[in-house]
Structure 1
Amino acid sequence: MSWSMPAEFAPQDRVWMAFPRDGYTLGDDAEDAELARQAWANVANVAAEFEPVTIVVDPSARAHAARLLSGEIDQVEAPLDDFWMRDIGPSFVVDGDTGALGAVDWVFNGWGANAWATWENDREIGTLVGEAAGASVLGSMLVNEGGGIHVDGEGTVIVTDTVQLDPFRNPYATKALVERELARTIGATKVIWLPRGLTRDYLSPGTRGHVDMVAAFAAPGVLLMHAQNDPSHPDYSVTRQLRAVVDEATDAAGRPFDVIELPAPETVRDHEGFVDWNYANHLVVNGGVLACGYGEPAADDRAAGILADAYGRSVVTVDARPILARGGGIHCITQQQPSALRAEVADALALEADEVVA
């Protein structure tokens, strides 16, 4: 098999999500919990207008899921600890020879064994989703999450030093070892290492530097990047540091990057400190883009226009403030399944080809 990870703007078969359940992320009271459930449900219901959606539901959340989710959304029941599908689920890949669908089941350990996280159930979701999708499940010894990588579909992958080289994730890893594993699992031929992520991502709860909060490929050679333009925000210097790295880099084809900036909204702080509100953390679906909204019409509309121009697709803005307050964005709670031949179909075609040759 020759596995590679398609770009997120490639054709998709469906979107996978996980529905909120009681726990440390959901909220401290009933009102806060309902805000979270509604935010996740809004994303699922909007995504279902573009393509099929399947959502994993913990048995304890069955009634809430039935109440809030569109009847068009497929549900799979399984125990969950949390509900960030990008990270607990698999990263889907496709075999270049047969078109078979694969699912990379990274090791998940609560974003680096954080004291606030539990993952006994979540570590099983990669295999569960991969098998439910009809994919061949690829095991990996690398502790990693889907939000910690972003690919262009042509061999380029962006990662961060503080995720893949995190001593609480991969204490014995080197860049060379990580790059070899990314080549084996997702077909990476060029790895771009960003030094870090956004400031708030290093607080609790946080991922210690996920790349999907700062950058996203809109096309091969075209990179959308978060830009914090308020000098009072610590990410003012962070985003310029990241931009400087990208400006010096080239992709797998040797091209310099055409960088499109996504300016942050005007809000700088919330009740917990500096926010990580950004528009880089969006979901691309067939014919559309789901963008994070922050209740700032001018900033949200500006970002929607940039995304529409970059992808050539319609953009739907969904209020993401309850999601960001819990540590991520729309991209973090979703996982796209690329269009590919099912494994059993690909195997049959391969057998048929072998018989013809024989």
Structure 2
Amino acid sequence: MSWRMPSETHPHDRTWIAFPREGLTLGETAAEREEGYVTWTAVAAAVARFEPVTMVVDPSEVERARRSLPGDVTLLEAPVDEFWMRDHGPTFVVDDARPGVLGAVDWIFNGWGAPDWARWQDSAAHARLIAEHVGAELVSSVLVNEGGGIHVDGEGTVLLTESVQLDPRRNPFADRTRVEAEMSRTLGATRAVWLSRGLTRDYDDMGTNGHVDIVAAIPSPGRVLLHDQRDASHPDHAVTAQLRAELAAQTDAAGRTFEIIDLPAPATLTDAHGPVDWSYVNHLVVNGGVIACGFGEARADATARRILAEAYPEREVVTVDARPLFSRGGGIHCITQQQPTVVP
């Protein structure tokens, strides 16, 4: 097998999302739950403007999903507990030696390190479910990993963070060599670019311990969009400076030094729980578009749209308010997973 994970800019057949269901993540009050439903629905509607969307829906939420979602969103009924599809769902790959073949990597998912509060057993089955549904070959992995913990350029480069793949709560016996071998086998990665960590808020009890897709993304080979916290009073000011230095010292699979494109953070620094991790890096590329996180700041949101439009030429950038997602632990990229088009 010669599996390879295409860049997110590769054409998509569809985007996969999981519809939220009642529980700790969605919220304790009726207003909090409604806010979550509205936001997941808004993201699905934005994506559906550009490409097909399939939503995995728990049986308890089917009627609500049918009422809420646009009619062109396809529903797939299955048990759901967590609904961060990027993390618990399949990572799709192609086989360059076998045109037309789609693969689906089934990482082990343990709720971001098996914290006491997490419930993940139902959603951990979605990779196999979806692979069977679309006729993809299942690529089983013994690595505990999430789709938000990796980012690729489609040409052999993968971004990783030491605090995710080498997290003892995930992979207590792993080291860089073992992780890199598995990234090569499953994703076709020939060059692993290791970052030391993620953003500060991501290390809270309900965080992911440093997912890369909130700090760095590769819009095209040789270029990296990097979260840029410019306020020195925010702890991520030092973090992003550190990450910039780490990226500048490394090269991609083709031996290129990275052109680093700063993506400034919004002006808001804190919420009721401390420093925020609001990041425009956590966007989704779709066919002909980019679904960008918005944070209710007209100037900052517009700046992000401009930078993303320049990074992804000839794509329409659409902003969706992502604050309700970030308050629950993630962003637009975190709740979505692209299925690449395979050419016969």
> TM-score of the superposition, structure 2-length normalised?
0.98
Equivalent residue in structure 2 for 1:328, among 327, 330, 337: 330
Q: Deviation string for 1:286-328 (max 9, x for gaps)?
A: 0000000000000000000000010011100000000000000
Counterparts of 2:73 and 2:258, CA distance in 1: 37
Q: Where in structure 1 do 4 or more consecutive aligned residues deviate above 4 Å? A: none
Equivalent residues in 2 for 1:238-317 (5 A)?
Answer: 238-312=239-313, 313-317=315-319
Q: Secondary structure at the match of 1:113?
A: coil
Counterparts of 1:171 and 1:66, CA distance in 2: 42
1:13 partner amino acid:
D
Counterparts of 1:9 and 1:227, CA distance in 2: 23
Q: Does residue 1:102 correspond to 2:103, yes or no?
A: yes
* Shift, 1:129, TM fit: 1.3
Q: Deviation string for 1:214-257 (max 9, x for gaps)?
A: 01111000111100011110000000100100011100000011
Counterparts of 1:131 and 1:45, CA distance in 2: 25
Partner in structure 1 of residue 71 of structure 2: 71
Counterparts of 2:53 and 2:3, CA distance in 1: 24
Partner in structure 2 of residue 186 of structure 1: 187
Counterparts of 1:230 and 1:12, CA distance in 2: 37
Partner in structure 2 of residue 37 of structure 1: 37
Partner in structure 1 of residue 161 of structure 2: 160
Equivalent residues in 2 for 1:102-181 (5 A)?
Answer: 102-181=103-182
Q: Secondary structure at the match of 2:113?
A: helix
Counterparts of 1:5 and 1:244, CA distance in 2: 27
2:222 partner amino acid:
G
Partner in structure 2 of residue 53 of structure 1: 53
Partner in structure 2 of residue 28 of structure 1: 28
* Shift, 1:130, TM fit: 1.6
* Shift, 1:82, TM fit: 1.0
Counterparts of 2:320 and 2:132, CA distance in 1: 30
* Shift, 1:131, TM fit: 1.6
Counterparts of 2:88 and 2:130, CA distance in 1: 10
Partner in structure 2 of residue 226 of structure 1: 227
Q: Secondary structure at the match of 1:28?
A: coil
Q: Secondary structure at the match of 1:111?
A: coil
Root-mean-square deviation (CA, aligned residues, Å) is: 0.7
Counterparts of 2:273 and 2:111, CA distance in 1: 22
* Shift, 1:204, TM fit: 2.3
* Shift, 1:28, TM fit: 1.1
* Shift, 1:24, TM fit: 1.0
* Shift, 1:132, TM fit: 1.4
Counterparts of 1:204 and 1:23, CA distance in 2: 17
Q: Secondary structure at the match of 2:338?
A: strand
Q: Deviation string for 1:26-79 (max 9, x for gaps)?
A: 001011000001100000011001000001000111122111100000000000
Counterparts of 2:78 and 2:206, CA distance in 1: 24
2:283 partner amino acid:
H
Q: Which of the pair has more CA radius of gyration?
A: 1
Partner in structure 2 of residue 352 of structure 1: none
Q: Deviation string for 1:95-151 (max 9, x for gaps)?
A: 011121000000000101111101110110111112212210110000000000000
Counterparts of 2:268 and 2:205, CA distance in 1: 20
Q: Does residue 1:6 correspond to 2:6, yes or no?
A: yes
Counterparts of 1:134 and 1:309, CA distance in 2: 36
2:162 partner amino acid:
D
Counterparts of 2:135 and 2:319, CA distance in 1: 31
Partner in structure 2 of residue 197 of structure 1: 198
Identity %: 60
1:21 partner amino acid:
R
Counterparts of 1:189 and 1:281, CA distance in 2: 24
Structure 1 alignment gaps of length 5 or more: 347-358
Counterparts of 2:49 and 2:132, CA distance in 1: 25
